[in-house]
């Protein structure tokens, strides 16, 4: 790993927001999934959640521009399971939906640990998601269109969250656990060795102050062996 790449990944990790996430309820169109991941990465979201009712979507590299390598995805088989995990992590769960109790998305305090739940492209969010959410939010519309594309809506809301957090000094505060930070540094800086470790069930070795692998001969022998 070059010194420039090591510095860039560290700078990225310093700005990662461990307590801000998206939860996608059966969003399955590839261009939307890719755009959502790309936006999440740009804002500093470190992990996302996806609920699949029937078939799991697949992210291709085109629209995502490689962002899927930097945003960790958690998969769930039900909305209840996903929301339960998010609330157990202390996150407020917001769902985009026009209802009598909905508030303008800019009125929410995104400095709090937050999960934004977005629904499937055609049907929107499920009744279960609406019931489980802590708050319904809306993006005001003044034109003929009744709603935004799911990836556009997510971008609008995420950048409001980023604005609030930056104003509060949150965006420059490192939040990731040391173990997770090391995982991203190793996989991002040494992808070939990371693949070998996964194939051979080897632990990721330590990195020195310059981002180079600092492993003993036993580890190197295991890596080189067939």
- The closest of 35, 104, 25, 21 to 67, measured between CA atoms, is 35
Does residue 96 have a known ligand-binding role? yes
DSSP assignment string, 2-69: -HHHHHHHHHHHHT-BTTEEEEEES---HHHHHHHHHHHHHHTB-EEEEE-SSS-----HHHHTTGGG
Give the residue numbers spanning the domain of 205.
178-224
39 is in an annotated binding site: no
What would the two tokens of residue 80 be?
A: 């209840």
Instruction: Report residue 74 CA to chain centroid gap.
Output: 9
Residue where a domain terminates, one of 136, 167, 198: 167
Instruction: With both helix axes pointing from N to C terminus, report the angle between 217-224 and 191-200 in degrees, rounded to the nearest 10.
Output: 80
11 found inside a domain? no
Question: H/E element holding 92?
Answer: strand 92-96
- Residue 181: the pLDDT is 92
Query: What's the CA gap between 214 and 211, in Å, rounded?
Result: 9
Tally of domains in the chain:
2
d(CA 39, CA 218): 41
**Residues 69 and 112 reside in one and the same domain:** yes
What is the per-residue pLDDT for 98? 78
Q: Using one digit for the tens of pLDDT, what is the confidence trace for 21-67?
A: 999 988 877 888 888 999 999 999 999 998 887 655 555 444 444 55
Q: Which residue has the tokens 């461990």?
A: 18
pLDDT computed for residue 62 by the predictor: 47
- Does residue 163 share a domain with residue 140? yes
Same domain, 156 and 210: no
- Residues 6 or more apart in contact with residue 40 via CB below 8 angstroms: 22, 48, 67, 71, 154, 158
Answer whether residue 7 is part of any domain.
Answer: no
- Name residues of the chain where pLDDT drops below 50: 60-65
Residue ranges of E strands in 26-91: 47-51, 72-76
Residue 6: inside a domain, yes or no? no
**Is 148 labelled a binding residue?**
yes
């Amino acid at each position: 790993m070059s010194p420039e790449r090591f510095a860039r990944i560290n700078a990225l990790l310093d700005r990662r927001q461990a307590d801000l996430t998206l939860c996608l309820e059966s969003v399955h169109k590839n261009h939307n999934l890719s755009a959502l991941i790309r936006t999440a990465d740009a804002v500093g979201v470190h992990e996302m959640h996806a609920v699949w009712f029937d078939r799991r979507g697949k992210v291709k590299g085109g629209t995502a521009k490689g962002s899927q390598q930097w945003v960790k995805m958690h998969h769930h088989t039900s909305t209840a399971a996903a929301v339960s995990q998010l609330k157990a992590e202390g996150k407020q769960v917001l769902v985009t939906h026009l209802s009598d109790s909905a508030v303008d998305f800019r009125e929410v305090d995104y400095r709090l640990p937050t999960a934004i739940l977005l629904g499937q492209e055609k049907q929107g969010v499920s009744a279960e998601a609406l019931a489980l959410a802590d708050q319904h939010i809306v993006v005001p519309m003044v034109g003929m269109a009744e709603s935004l594309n799911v990836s556009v809506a997510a971008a609008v809301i995420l950048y409001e969250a980023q604005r609030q957090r930056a104003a509060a000094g949150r965006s420059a505060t490192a939040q990731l656990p040391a173990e997770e930070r090391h995982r991203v540094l190793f996989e991002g800086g040494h992808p070939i060795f990371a693949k070998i470790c996964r194939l051979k069930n080897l632990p990721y070795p330590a990195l020195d102050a310059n981002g180079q692998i600092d492993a003993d001969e036993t580890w190197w022998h295991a890596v080189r062996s067939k």
